[in-house]
Structure formats: C-alpha cells, structure tokens
Structure 1
Amino acid sequence: MDDIDKGILRVIQEDTRTGYQEIAKRLSIAPSTVHFRIKKLINMGVIERFSAILNLEKMGYMTIAWIGLSCDPDKIDSVADILASFDQIQMVCTASGDHDLLIQIVAKNEKDLWRFINKNIKTISGVEKDFDVSCFLDVYKKTNSIVV
C-alpha cells in the first residue's frame, strides 16, 4: 500500500460519500486512478464494506452496553456464533481477562436490554450464570477510523 492508497483511505474514512472526482481533486490524481485503487483495496480486503454510521439515540436505541460472559471452554465458538446472529449485538469478541467473550449490544432501554439478556443470552447452552453488564452513560469519542 503506497501513499496514494493511504490518501484515498483517509478521504473515504472521513466520508464514504465522497465521489471519485473529489478524491482525485484532493489527491491530485486522475479519477480513473481512484476507481482502480478503491477496487484494488476492496479486492485486497483492506476495505471490507461501505456503510452509514447511524445516530443510535435518534434511531431510538437509548441503551448501549458491554457484556462480559464466561463460557464452557468447549462451547466458546458456538456461543460466539449464536451471539453474532442477533441484530442487537454489534460486536462479539473473545477476550483475555475475566471473561471469555465480550459483546456490545444496543437496546431501546434498560428494560429491553434485560429482557433480551434473559430471553436470548442466558438460555444459550454453554453460557455460565455469572456475567457483567456495563451500560454506557456518556460517549466522548466514537469512531471506526484509524490512522492511515
């Protein structure tokens, strides 16, 4: 990956709606170069997808939480796969530390969060009874961008 690729990535991290013409203008390259390079970055797996970042509160999701789960060691992968199938769960990760899995989940409110936990998470075979829930209060930074 060279400086042109990195420049393109910086621009599209700011706003994925930026057109090839505008990217080309900012980087002083031809629009066809932008098109070719983006296609190459997609094929390399550097760009996984283009998506909109939604304001969760304006979409009615007032509760965001991290849940730390401990699992039967033989069932961690199957538990993670089940958790990943739920739309409300934004991220599922294996983790070092006190828990085997960490998940990020969104809910309309705390009552919906606990309803989801009781109905969907506690009932998964392999999930141990004790788990930690930390609800987000104030978000000071939220980004998917990285330094390129």
Structure 2
Amino acid sequence: MAENLDRIDRKILRLLQSDGRLSNADLAAQVNVSPATCHRRTQRLFDQGYVQGVRAQIDPVKVERSALVIVGVVLDRSTPQSFAEFEEVIRKADFILDCHLVAGDFDYFLKIRARDMADFNKLHGEKLIALPGVR
C-alpha cells in the first residue's frame, strides 16, 4: 500500500509526525501545494489509515508522573486463551501506557508512568500482581 504514496504524501506524513498541530495552510506551504490540494491529500492519508490519529504529548513532570517504569510480565500459561484474557484486561487498565508482546524470557513488556517509585510499588502490589495469569 505504501507504494501508492508519492514524495508529497511522504513529506506530509513526516511533517505531521513531527508536529501534528500544523495548520493546513502551513502544511500546504511546506509541501508546495495549494491548501485545497493539501487538505484532500491529508484527508486521504487519514481515510486510508496512514495516519491513525493525532494526539498531544503530555509533559509527565507537569502531571506528576515523572517515573517511567518498564515491567516484564510472565504469564503462568502460554495459551491463546491466557494471552487473550490478559490483553483484554490490559486494554482497560488506565495506568498502563503501552503493552508489547515480546519473545524471550518475558511474555509482555508494560510501559507505566507513576508519580515516583513508592507510587509504582503501591501500583505493583495492588494492581499488577492481580492481573489475570501473571506469574
């Protein structure tokens, strides 16, 4: 599908990736097309799924979440059902930023932000070890 992208489309993607708040007029000027053409191209990139969304990058210190913790998780069973149950619960857990299925000694890596290590330790003791199938 990427073969359908020309240099203008690729430049639009690069610019949006570095600053998702660019106005259509600024974006059009930077890729040397009219604002109408730029809008059509950008909308097509969204419609075709090249751009999945635009979101704000929050300063973790300002929202009192300065501790970044990566947690390795091992499930007690390696079955499709245990993986599915774990992933279903993880999707609803608001304290987890990212969840990645990995190969090797761990089944998943979780990316979590906490106020500090004491906050993380509380989170670990109350929520992480209660996740389904976690060893």
Compute the TM-score of the two structures, normalised by the length of structure 1.
Answer: 0.82
**Where do 4+ consecutive residues of structure 1 move more than 2 Å?**
none
Which residue of the partner structure matches residue 113 of structure 2?
106
Which residue of the partner structure matches residue 20 of structure 1?
24
For structure 2, which runs of at least 5 residues remain unmatched after alignment? none
Whether 1:76 and 2:80 are equivalent positions in the alignment is no
Which residue of the partner structure matches residue 96 of structure 1?
103
Q: Residue by residue, what CA displacement relative to the aligned partner does 1:78-119 show, whole Å, maximum 9, x if unpaired?
A: 112212211221101110111001110011111111111111
Whether 1:125 and 2:129 are equivalent positions in the alignment is no
Higher share in strand: 1
**Alignment size in residue pairs:** 128
Q: Aligned residues: percent identity? A: 23
RMSD after superposition: 1.1
For structure 1, which runs of at least 5 residues remain unmatched after alignment? 129-148
- Distance in 2 between residues matched to 1:77 and 1:50, nearest whole Å: 28
Compute the TM-score of the two structures, normalised by the length of structure 2.
Answer: 0.89
Which residue of the partner structure matches residue 66 of structure 1?
70
Q: Residue by residue, what CA displacement relative to the aligned partner does 1:29-66 show, whole Å, maximum 9, x if unpaired?
A: 01111111111111111111111111111211121111
- Distance in 2 between residues matched to 1:103 and 1:43, nearest whole Å: 30
- Distance in 2 between residues matched to 1:14 and 1:125, nearest whole Å: 37
- Distance in 1 between residues matched to 2:11 and 2:73, nearest whole Å: 40
